[in-house]
Amino acid sequence: MKWIPALSKRTMFTYFILFFLLYLFYVLNTCLVDERKYTFKLFSLKRLSTYKSVSRRFAALLGFSHRRTYMRLRQPNMVPTKRLPDALVIGVKKCGTRALLEFLRLHPDVRAAGSEVHFFDKFYHKGFEWYRDKMPPTLEGQITMEKTPSYWVTRSAPRRVYAMNPSVKLLVVVRDPVTRAISDYTQSASKRPSLPRFEDLALVNSTVGWGGVWSVVDASWPPVRLGIYARPLRRWLRRFPRSRILLISGERLVVDPAFEMARVQDFLGLKLVITEKHFYFNSTKGFPCLLKSESRPTPHCLGKTKGRSHPHIDPVAIERLREFYRPYNEKFYELSGTNFEWP
C-alpha cells in the first residue's frame, strides 16, 4: 500500500471545490432539461422566464427564498380593508377638533370615520370588531382616523386605547380655556335659549345684578372644568410617551391653518400635501374656510354651527376666570413642554 500517496490538506480542499463546482453544473443543467424529452432547451429570448425559474431554484438551493417578497412588491394589496385606527383625535371639545379633521380629509392618504364613534367612552363593551366595522375602508399605506373629543376626559380611555394599539398617534387641540368655556356655553345657549347667563353659571354666588361682585369660580361646571387641561394630560402620559401625543394650538389653527397642518402631517408621517393653497379666511365667520378638496372643488366652510358669535361677557368675570386658570395653565405648559402663552 506504499504506492498510495498521502493527501495533503490543500489537495483535499482542491478536490472538494472541484466536486462542488461539478455538482452545481449538474444541478443547473438538470433545471434546463425537459424531463419528458431529456433534451437541452435552446437559449433564446423567448425563454427568459425559464432562467428566472432557474435563478429562483438556485437561490432556494442556497437557502434563500424571495418569491413571496417579489410577488408582494409586484402585486400590492389594492383591496380596501377596514382597519382599527392608526391615529385618534381625542380632544378637546370646542377647541377646533372638527376643523382639524375636515382639514385632514384633504389629504389623499387619510381616511376618517364619518361621525364620532364614542367607542372608548360609551361602546367599549361592543368589542374591537364592532369598532373596526365603524371605520372607513382604506388601502395599504393609508391612515385610518377617528375623532371623539370626549376621549380626552374619559378616565378609562387611555388604558383602553393602549390595549388597542400602544403605538397609536394621538392628536389634541387646545385653546385658551376662557375662550373655550365661552364657546362651550355659546353652543349650549344656541340649543337652550332659556339658559342663564354665562357669568351666573361660571361663578358662584353671582350678585352683580345687585351691585355686588362675584365670589369664586365654579370649577364643577363642565365648561369650566374642561379647561383644566393638565389633569387629563397627566392620565394620557401615564400610558403614552409625549412623542405619541401632538398638541395643536386652536388659535393658530384659525390664524395660520397651513402651519399647524404642516406639523400634523409631519407627526403622522404624511407627505406634505395640505398647504396654504387650500385655505382662505372668511371674515364673516372669523374662521378659515377651504378653497378646494377632493370632494368639493368649490370654496366652502365647515357649516353654520362653526364660527358662532359669542355673547358679551362681563370683563370682571373674564379676569376672574383668567386668574383661576393661570396656575393650571402653567402646570399644563410644564407637562406638555409647550408654552401656549394664554393670557
Cell digits of residue 259? 402651519
Tell me the backbone φ, ψ of residue 43, rounded to 5 degrees: -75, 125
- Binding residue per annotation — 211? no
Report the alpha-carbon distance of residue 263 to residue 260 in Å, rounded.
5
- Binding residue per annotation — 191? no
Strands (E), 118-192: 137-138, 143-147, 169-174
- Binding residue per annotation — 301? no
Report the alpha-carbon distance of residue 126 to residue 142 in Å, rounded.
26
With beta carbons less than 8 A apart as the criterion, state whether 126 and 133 touch. no
**Which of 93, 94, 147, 169 is flagged as catalytic?**
94
Q: How many CA atoms are closer than 13 Å to the CA of 222, on its beta-carbon side?
A: 9
Which pairing describes strands 137-138 and 81-82: parallel, antiparallel, or unpaired?
antiparallel
- Binding residue per annotation — 95? yes
Contacts of 120 (CB under 8 A, 6+ apart): 148, 151, 154, 156, 157, 160, 161
- Binding residue per annotation — 94? yes
- Binding residue per annotation — 97? yes
- Angle of helix 97-104 relative to helix 257-267, nearest 10 degrees? 70
- Binding residue per annotation — 307? yes
- Binding residue per annotation — 56? no
With beta carbons less than 8 A apart as the criterion, state whether 204 and 215 touch. yes
Does 292 participate in catalysis according to the annotation?
Answer: no
- Binding residue per annotation — 310? yes
Cα 298–chain centre separation: 27
Position 103, amino acid: F
Tell me the backbone φ, ψ of residue 65, rounded to 5 degrees: -135, 110
- Binding residue per annotation — 183? yes
> What angle (nearest 5°) sits at the alpha carbon of residue 258, between those of residues 252 and 264?
80
Report the alpha-carbon distance of residue 5 to residue 239 in Å, rounded.
75
Catalytically active residues, by annotation? 94
Binding-site annotation, residues:
94-98, 175, 183, 306-310
Query: Annotated binding site for 3'-phosphoadenylyl sulfate, which residues?
Result: 94-98, 175, 183, 306-310
